[in-house]
Amino acid sequence: MSKKIGITGGIGTGKSTVCLIFKALGVPIYDADSRAKYLMRSDPVLIDQIKKYFGEECYLADNQLNTIFLAQKVFQNQSQLDLLNRLVHPQVRQDMQHWALQFPEKPYLLKEAALMYESDSYQDLYKIMVVSAPLELRIERIRKRDPQRTEAEIRAIISKQMPQEEKERRADFVIENDGEHLLIPQILPLHKIFIQHTLTQ
């Protein structure tokens, strides 16, 4: 069975960029955040739970997720955000288990997720990589990617995530994406390590 490796890091650290390099090496990538959004739009059980706890207004007439309404419900209310995560994360975990069955021949798979430690999904994974970048660089990247967000909004999002230093402390490997360290020379040795661990166990 393929080993499952996690890759996480705060918003703006560049997880997706790192994942593109692993993908170029032939590693399947499970994007937990994108799949969570998909499941919130398509999983009947999850849709019913979200309507039950957050209101019918969470979905529009065409059954599309009303992201603006839901975000307003949970963004300023930590208990509501925690509840939403408790509903969504088990469905994502189950979805990944089904997804992984497609790749029995692969030595390892990657799961990309922003809330890997916060959701406890790290417990299902063999090793964890954390992508790191300085705070100001992260804010600059996010403003370029999401020009509609103000700096205050970005800092508010970052403040709700686990501190980057804590993620690095808990990680097995740290990838520096600070614009000074090249990514490929950091990633290739990790790729070899993960393959070797799989072949020798």
Average the pLDDT over 129-145 and give the result: 95
One domain for residues 68 and 155: no
Is residue 201 predicted with pLDDT exceeding 70?
Answer: no
Asked if 196 and 160 sit in the same domain, the reply is yes
Residues 117 and 179 in one domain: yes
Range of the domain at 89: 37-102
Single out the residue in 78, 102, 126 at which a domain terminates. 102
Q: How many domains does the chain have?
A: 2
91 and 154 share one domain: no
Contact 69, 126 (CB under 8 A): no
Q: What percent of the chain has pLDDT over 70?
A: 98
In sequence order, the 6+-apart residues with CB closer than 8 A to the CB of 29 are 19, 22, 23, 109, 110, 111, 112
Domain final residue, candidates 49, 83, 102: 102
Work out the number of other CB atoms within 10 angstroms of the CB of residue 81: 15
Q: How confident is the model at residue 178 (pLDDT cuts 50, 70, 90)?
A: very high
Residues 113 and 160 in one domain: yes
Do 115 and 199 lie in a common domain? yes
Q: Which of 102, 133, 155 is the last residue of a domain?
A: 102
- Rounded Cα distance between 137 and 45, Å, is 39
> Tens digits of per-residue pLDDT, 92-127?
999 999 999 999 999 999 999 988 988 888 888 999
| Per-residue model confidence as pLDDT tens digits over 67-95 | 889 988 887 788 998 899 999 999 999 99
* 135 and 49 fall within a common domain: no
Same domain, 116 and 169: yes
Give the mean pLDDT of the chain.
91
Whether residue 195 is found in the same domain as residue 118: yes
Residues 119 and 200 in one domain: yes
Provide the CATH number for the domain around residue 195.
Answer: 3.40.50.300
Those residues whose C-beta lies under 8 Å from the C-beta of residue 179, and which sit 6 or more positions away, are 133, 137
Task: Tell me the pTM.
Answer: 0.89
- Regarding whether 120 and 91 lie in a shared domain, the answer is no
